[in-house]
Amino acid sequence: MSLQKERLRWQREVADPAVSRHKERKDGALTTSSGLPLERVSIPDDAGYATDAGVYMDRLGFPGEYPFTRGVQPTMYRGRYWTMRQYAGFGTARESNERFRYLLDAGQTGLSVAFDLPTQIGYDSDHSLSYGEVGKVGVAVDSLADMEILFDSIPLDQVSTSMTINAPAAILLAMYIAVAEKQGVSRDKLRGTIQNDILKEYVARGTFMFPPAPSMRLITNTFSFCTRELPQWNSISISGYHIREAGSTAVQEVAFTLADAIAYVEAALSTGLTVDEFAGRLSFFFSAGSDLLEEVAKFRAARRMWARILKERFGATSPKSLAMRFHTQTTGAGLTAQQPDNNVVRVALHALAAVLGGTQSLHTNSRDEALSLPTEESVQIALRTQQIIALESGVANTVDPLAGSWVVESLTDEIERRAREYLDRIDREGGMVRAIENGMVQQEIEDAAYRYQREVEEKERLIVGVNCHSNDRSVSCHDVMRHDPRVQQAQLDRLAEVKSQRDGAAVERTLRTLREAATDPAADVMDPIIECVRQYATLGEISQELRAVFGEHQQHAGM
């Protein structure tokens, strides 16, 4: 086997058909800034190094081909840049709608909705537990009426929308569909993602509602619904991001995310779906931290592992199933409240790691996110950071530019090896749901977080502005976004108005139908939920019906 021959075969079978569907920038005549030629995909032969072609093909292959180490598309960013998708949402639906439109005008190419915590946990704004939280970390959505305003003047057939929503994902998806109906947009045109990843909520993020078993059922219901009705929708975004932010290592981030993914695949298979029917709609979400080389290796290792797991463990054959597509957000925990302008530089490094790692979409954090929600100016710098990497750095002009770096390849192999050890251990525990229930996963993350912070305290790990070069430890920013204290009352007034204007009997009827469906484990709850939201039943009312049937998850503090 010669690699040159393999590249010609790949070009003919994979790259050329892709280019004929979607041209590369400058018709592929991309060069360095001095005009030096750049291969679409460089291989060891190009640099004059002899390589065992068998080993190369086994570990790396070519982009768009198994095992996808070098990327999920044959031309990667030479064809189209990653989607620049800033996570946004705060206050009322009207304010968030304005921020969305600002971002779209600034050149953002996808929406990403942040909901407030009551919405994420299925409480209406007037619930006692919502006190103080309404509109804080995201937008408050109580009913379809809020969702209509949130997407006002944003044609849903022209944007892709990612929604960070987990326990009540089915309800928010139903609202999105109902808004689309009102805009006259059919379901097959809707593009986007619901996070819908409950397992990581139990270990890292905390917005769970129901116990694991009914939660897994809700997720398989959304899988089936999306398979049937929403051909362009990602039914889940399996998230390592929050695991990493909770303090895990890069290896743990990969391992626990893949373990969650395996659990979802097994749950979906048990409902009768076949793997190639749904695996192509599973998407992933990772963090990008400061250790640039390790992060690049992590993304590459994760792609290769997912392809191997789906092929070897689940017998998937469709390339769409085997290709791990992921969103990346730059690390929040890696930003500092001290000397916050330095975060602009950190975010550029994090974003570069994500792009060198082959991400499909990217959120860059704003410099002030260790202090508050970002100002418009900070968000613009964050978005410009992505645009500078795309348009000026040149790293987007050749595929997987760090491939063949000895250190990056070694780290890629090592991350895979260590993550596999975790996967074996989780299998021995009886699977991820069991490993979460018995606290093994949480303990591993907590220990890693503790080690990290001790190292910072002992100055074995240096963070500029925090434990070195910290002449200025003030945590002030020239200008931060402040919450409008009137938001909570405005939202309460609005909710009362919606409740007074709807058809109460229709709400009662649809909620009853939903409860009956929830009670039958074989029934699908998606259609009944859509009926409820159409009648302006609130998120809290719908959640309450489900809580009554499914019960509530109680977390042990673990310490």
Partner 1 sequence: MSEKTRILIAKPGLDGHDRGAKYIARALRDHGYEVIYTGIRQTPESIVNIAIQEDVQFVGLSLLSGAHNELFPRVVELLRAEGAEDIVVFGGGIIPDYDIPGLKEAGVRAVFPPGTPIAEVVQFIEQCRTGSAQTT
Q: Enumerate binding residues for partner 1 (CB under 8 A).
A: 117-118, 120-121, 128-133, 136-137, 201, 204-207, 245-247, 333, 336-338, 370-373, 446, 449-450, 453-454, 457, 463, 466-467, 473-476, 480, 482-483, 555-559
Considering the complex, state which of residue 57 and residue 477 has its C-beta at the smaller distance from partner 1: 477
Considering the complex, state which of residue 312 and residue 458 has its C-beta at the smaller distance from partner 1: 458
C-alpha distances in angstroms, 197 versus 21, 37, 243, 264?
33, 43, 12, 9
160-164 and 111-114: which strand pairing? parallel
Considering the complex, state which of residue 240 and residue 358 has its C-beta at the smaller distance from partner 1: 240
Closest separation in Å from C-beta 203 to partner 1: 10
Cα separation, 357 vs 304, whole angstroms: 12
Considering the complex, state which of residue 153 and residue 554 has its C-beta at the smaller distance from partner 1: 554
Considering the complex, state which of residue 421 and residue 457 has its C-beta at the smaller distance from partner 1: 457
The answer to whether the beta carbons of residues 251 and 415 sit under 8 Å apart is: yes
Closest separation in Å from C-beta 148 to partner 1: 25
Residue 415 corresponds to which tokens in the numbers above?
């991350």
Closest separation in Å from C-beta 122 to partner 1: 11
Closest separation in Å from C-beta 118 to partner 1: 7
Q: Where are the alpha helices (DSSP H) in 184-309?
A: 199-200, 212-229, 241-245, 250-270, 275-278, 292-308
Q: Where are the alpha helices (DSSP H) in 289-371?
A: 292-308, 319-322, 342-356
The answer to whether the beta carbons of residues 214 and 191 sit under 8 Å apart is: no
Containing H/E element for 421? Answer: helix 406-429
Residue 377 corresponds to which tokens in the numbers above?
């100016």
Closest separation in Å from C-beta 447 to partner 1: 10
Q: Which residues of 10-25 are buried (b: 16+ CB within 10 A; e: fewer)?
A: bbeebbeebbeeeebe
Give the closest residue to 202 by CA, choosing from 219, 215, 221: 215
Residue 399 corresponds to which tokens in the numbers above?
């595929």
Rounded (10°) angle between helices 250-270 and 440-457: 160
Cα separation, 310 vs 276, whole angstroms: 10
Closest separation in Å from C-beta 244 to partner 1: 11
Considering the complex, state which of residue 54 and residue 132 has its C-beta at the smaller distance from partner 1: 132
Measured distance between the N- and C-terminal CA atoms of the chain, rounded to whole angstroms = 56
342 Cβ neighbours under 8 A, 6+ residues apart: 336, 367, 464, 465
C-alpha distances in angstroms, 218 versus 166, 191, 378?
10, 21, 37
Considering the complex, state which of residue 118 and residue 404 has its C-beta at the smaller distance from partner 1: 118
Q: Is the peptide bond before 319 cis (omega within 30 degrees of 0)?
A: no
The answer to whether the beta carbons of residues 44 and 3 sit under 8 Å apart is: yes
C-alpha distances in angstroms, 34 versus 20, 30, 393, 399?
28, 11, 13, 19
The answer to whether the beta carbons of residues 286 and 326 sit under 8 Å apart is: yes
Closest separation in Å from C-beta 433 to partner 1: 19
Closest separation in Å from C-beta 240 to partner 1: 15
Give the closest residue to 499 by CA, choosing from 536, 528, 534, 542: 536
Considering the complex, state which of residue 185 and residue 464 has its C-beta at the smaller distance from partner 1: 464
Closest separation in Å from C-beta 126 to partner 1: 15
Cα separation, 173 vs 179, whole angstroms: 10
Closest separation in Å from C-beta 446 to partner 1: 6
Cα separation, 235 vs 221, whole angstroms: 10
Closest separation in Å from C-beta 476 to partner 1: 5
Considering the complex, state which of residue 47 and residue 468 has its C-beta at the smaller distance from partner 1: 468
Closest separation in Å from C-beta 338 to partner 1: 6
The answer to whether the beta carbons of residues 115 and 135 sit under 8 Å apart is: no
Considering the complex, state which of residue 329 and residue 336 has its C-beta at the smaller distance from partner 1: 336
Considering the complex, state which of residue 77 and residue 115 has its C-beta at the smaller distance from partner 1: 115
Residue 368 corresponds to which tokens in the numbers above?
């002030």
Closest separation in Å from C-beta 374 to partner 1: 12
The answer to whether the beta carbons of residues 277 and 225 sit under 8 Å apart is: no
Containing H/E element for 55? Answer: helix 53-59
Closest separation in Å from C-beta 326 to partner 1: 22
Considering the complex, state which of residue 52 and residue 552 has its C-beta at the smaller distance from partner 1: 552
**DSSP class of 240:** -
Considering the complex, state which of residue 166 and residue 397 has its C-beta at the smaller distance from partner 1: 166
Considering the complex, state which of residue 127 and residue 515 has its C-beta at the smaller distance from partner 1: 127
